[in-house]
Structure 1
Amino acid sequence: MDPSIVSLFLIGAMLVMLASGIWVALTLMVVGYLGISLFSSAPAGAIMSTTIWAQSWSWALTALPLFIWMGEILYRTKLASNMFKGLAPWMNALPGRLLHVNVVSCGLFAAVSGSSAATTATIGRITIPELEKRDYDQKMIVGSLAGSATLGFLIPPSIILIVYGVAAEVSISRLFIAGILPGLMLMVLFMGYIMLWSLWNPDKTPAPERRIPLFQRLRATAGLFPMLFLIIAVIGSIYAGIATPTEAAAVGVLGALMLSAVSGTLTWSSITESIAGATKTTCMITLILAGAAFLSVSMGFTGIPRALASWVGSFELSQFELLLALTLLFVVMGCFLDGISIVVLTASVIMPMVQAAGIDLIWFGIYLVVVIEMSQITPPVGINLFILQSMTKHDLLAVAKMAFPFFLVLVLATLLLIIFPQIATYLPSLMTRG
């Protein structure tokens, strides 16, 4: 049968199931089963069982529950409050003052949590009351937090980069290293926008706080050292080639337990809650990945990826035009699906097209994550918006409006990545040389 008709049927079935509220993982499995059983002579049941089993014991996936557990442990520590106390005295001299604490603290917490939602919730519950108490502009408080918390997707150890690495079959270590410079670039862009906004609206920025003596500032900054040590231990061990992502994740869990013990939050209750939270999240992601793996195999039997790649190739699009089209596609999908679902839903169809266009898969992973970060702050399914809505008295659309300038900053970051791909490929290339 014509692959275009097959693809329309399967896409229609997928949309109907997703719209009816069926789990993403089950939708992927059912659509994959329909694709094989209806449009090929292969045994769908046997292929489904072997594919899901092969996916479920993938060694690359062992890092996933460990990094998620690390983030769950740290979520229950005093890490965020220590970050605010340590960063605030140093940010007071910058245009925008303590609004920059949102950006820097989100970047630091992202480097130990790997989750955008956890970053939003953890940093938000500390910085929102503190900034409101100091009479900072409400729109910038919420907007800067919504935008900066998306760094949890990009700065390693990123859960979504692990998912992409498994789906695209590329090195997770190199993906982690590739995310460092783009993550720092985004922090600079966010802080740059805050500075420009502050200079343009001087009446909306509170006066500088009383200058704190250098010794007291250094003493407050000491609260950041344990977290910085954990970041260096996890990311540094991967970059130096001392540990694999899984081994680094184990180091991260041990370090997180030690930090929790030092902060006085390590209790039997916090341990069981963190394990339960990590188990739920890991099971959800693993089930989605298993469904995506089966759908990918199913797509191969139907011939849709090859037909789509040939169809797109017939337009003779340049790399920039292809990426522009994909950006629009991912932004639209991000309005209705979470980031992990976007990665697993599109991997089997998009990857052959990307490889045919000669695009580096490591770079594409970083580009994809930056674009997906936009979905975190776009209604109606922007998870960061939901979290901030629950923390503030604003409705969803008001929060989305506050976050919109930072959405544009993410668009600018995407363009910079496309124009200067070295931002994502330089550090991994050093690993290759080493």
Structure 2
Amino acid sequence: MDILTIGAILLILMLLMLSGGVWIAMTLAICGWVGQAFFTSSQPGLNLFSAFWESNASWELAALPLFIWMGEILFRTKLSEEMFTGLAPWLNRVPGRLFHTTILGCGIFGSVSGSSAATCATIAKVSLPELKKRGYDETLAIGSLATAGTLGILIPPSITMVVYAVAADASIIRIFLAGFLPALVLMTLFSGYIAIWSLRNKHKMPPSEPVTTLAEKLRLSKNLIPCALLIVFICWSLVAGWATATECAAYGVVGAVALAAWSRSLTWENFRESLFGATRTSCMIMFILAGAAFLTKTMAFTGIPRELAEWVSSMNLSPYALIACLIVVYLVLGTALDGISMIVLTAAVVMPMIQKAGFDLVWFGIFIILLISIAEVTPPVGFNLFVLQNMTGKDSNLIAKAAIPFFFCLVVCIVLITAFPEIVTVFPDAVMGKQK
């Protein structure tokens, strides 16, 4: 049976199970099992156990439940409410007002976590209840979180960037530096859309906060100081090399507990609820990761990613036609694979094509990470969609629909860095000098 037929069968099976209400992780694992049992000579049982173990037995992944727990503590002890109270007076005259906290929060937290799922889950836990309570449109908030959560893999340090650098034999530091300006452009596009939406839909915006004097703003801002200091400490610890991302996550939990105790809002009951909430969310994400890892093994055994890449190579396209074709290939792969797997399974074929076409490997790294960001919000296997589905109880297709405007912001960012590659290369060139 040819590769395209196998891929079509697995995709149809996945869609049928998802539409039938089968758990997401189980759907991914079942599709992986069917693919290996019927279309390869491998042992699906053995690969299932190894995939589940390998995907979760990771020191870096330990940061995920810790960051989620930090978000749960901030949410359940009212520290997040105090933070929003302090922000509200300063954003009162900005179109979109507190909607921008989802973008800013994902940008700041993404620089710490390095994970799209952790960024999306943590900021959603803190911001969604507050925005909903204050009367903000929930659909726009969910759509912005689904896409802004992808800043976790675009803003360094990012595990995906490290994997790409190793696969492409490129400088990790240059790729880290190259991510900052595109991330800033993307955040500007997201916030720009929110501002435009709020101006065109004033009837959906809550009433403005009461006008306050500068002295009153400063008084209310004291609510911002504790959480802001915690975030700055975590970011600085990571940037200065004092701690790894996982250690920073542990500091974040300790800091959140200390702040909650200091503000006298910590009780045994909300501590217990935060722990259980973090456990539920973390187990959900890790179960999905395990199912995705098993499906990735199936994709590798069937050879679908490599076949697609070799098909593109055989067409002998012009440089920009090659880029257009790779966009389609990676978007197709993104419906079934996570970002790291997309890079690993296609690198051997794609990297020589890119070098032959004259593209900078550092630029292509940011390009492919933006494509992975799109895959994170593309059904049927958009990982951020699953995270928000489990957190909000809303259907993943509704969340994907809410994310469509921000999806196009991602597309615009890709167009911009393709038309003006200096957006990616100028910062690493300025810091480290141009590569010879």
**Partner residue of 1:297?**
297
Runs of 5+ consecutive residues of structure 1 not aligned to the other structure: 133-137
Q: Counterparts of 2:399 and 2:13 in 1: how far apart (Å)?
A: 33
**Partner residue of 2:357?**
none
**Partner residue of 2:242?**
242
**Partner residue of 1:75?**
75
Question: 1:134-145 counterparts in 2 under 5 A?
Answer: 141-142=137-138, 145=141
Tell me if 1:320 matches 2:323. yes
- Structure 1 residue 321, shift from structure 2 partner: 0.4
- Structure 1 residue 309, shift from structure 2 partner: 1.5
What whole-Å deviation, never above 9, does each CA across 1:93-122 have from its counterpart, x for those lacking one?
Answer: 44x3xx222203652366449443553464
Tell me if 1:104 matches 2:108. no
Tell me if 1:221 matches 2:225. no
My pick for the range that moved more, 271-280 or 198-207, is 198-207
Q: Counterparts of 2:194 and 2:338 in 1: how far apart (Å)?
A: 30
**Partner residue of 2:129?**
125
Q: Counterparts of 1:375 and 1:9 in 2: how far apart (Å)?
A: 17
Question: 1:215-294 counterparts in 2 under 5 A?
Answer: 215-294=215-294
Letter matched to residue 80 of structure 1: S
Aligned 8 A contact 1:110 1:151 in 2: no
**Partner residue of 2:35?**
35
Letter matched to residue 107 of structure 1: L
Secondary structure at 1:91 match in 2: coil
Q: Counterparts of 1:187 and 1:197 in 2: how far apart (Å)?
A: 15
Secondary structure at 2:212 match in 1: coil
- Structure 1 residue 424, shift from structure 2 partner: 6.0
Aligned 8 A contact 2:150 2:373 in 1: yes
Letter matched to residue 288 of structure 1: I
What whole-Å deviation, never above 9, does each CA across 1:26-65 have from its counterpart, x for those lacking one?
Answer: 3333333343443444444334333433333222222222
- Structure 1 residue 185, shift from structure 2 partner: 3.2
Aligned 8 A contact 2:69 2:253 in 1: yes
Aligned 8 A contact 2:102 2:148 in 1: no
Q: Counterparts of 1:237 and 1:226 in 2: how far apart (Å)?
A: 17
Structure 2 CA distance for partners of 1:9 and 1:208, relative to 1, 3 Å: closer
- Structure 1 residue 195, shift from structure 2 partner: 4.9
Secondary structure at 1:55 match in 2: helix
Q: Counterparts of 1:294 and 1:225 in 2: how far apart (Å)?
A: 44
Aligned 8 A contact 2:120 2:146 in 1: yes
Aligned 8 A contact 1:155 1:179 in 2: no
Letter matched to residue 153 of structure 1: G
Aligned 8 A contact 1:144 1:190 in 2: no
Runs of 5+ consecutive residues of structure 2 not aligned to the other structure: 355-360
My pick for the range that moved more, 193-202 or 183-192, is 193-202
Q: Counterparts of 1:301 and 1:403 in 2: how far apart (Å)?
A: 33
Structure 2 CA distance for partners of 1:55 and 1:148, relative to 1, 3 Å: closer
Q: Counterparts of 1:277 and 1:206 in 2: how far apart (Å)?
A: 29
Secondary structure at 2:266 match in 1: coil
My pick for the range that moved more, 366-375 or 269-278, is 366-375
**Partner residue of 1:135?**
none
- Structure 1 residue 261, shift from structure 2 partner: 2.1
Tell me if 1:20 matches 2:20. yes
Letter matched to residue 149 of structure 2: F
- Structure 1 residue 90, shift from structure 2 partner: 2.4
Q: Counterparts of 1:17 and 1:197 in 2: how far apart (Å)?
A: 35
Aligned 8 A contact 1:84 1:105 in 2: no
Q: Counterparts of 1:238 and 1:164 in 2: how far apart (Å)?
A: 17
- Structure 1 residue 220, shift from structure 2 partner: 1.9
Aligned 8 A contact 1:367 1:417 in 2: no
Q: What is the root-mean-square deviation of aligned Cα atoms in Å?
A: 4.7
Secondary structure at 2:21 match in 1: coil
Corresponding pairs, count: 406
Letter matched to residue 26 of structure 1: M
Aligned 8 A contact 2:305 2:333 in 1: no
Structure 2 CA distance for partners of 1:375 and 1:29, relative to 1, 3 Å: closer
My pick for the range that moved more, 266-275 or 50-59, is 50-59
Letter matched to residue 234 of structure 1: I
1:372 to 351, 376, 386: 376
- Structure 1 residue 298, shift from structure 2 partner: 3.1
Aligned 8 A contact 2:378 2:400 in 1: no
Q: Identity percentage over the alignment?
A: 36
Question: 1:375-394 counterparts in 2 under 5 A?
Answer: none
Letter matched to residue 372 of structure 1: E
Q: Counterparts of 1:43 and 1:396 in 2: how far apart (Å)?
A: 32
Secondary structure at 1:297 match in 2: helix
Aligned 8 A contact 2:143 2:399 in 1: no
Letter matched to residue 324 of structure 2: E
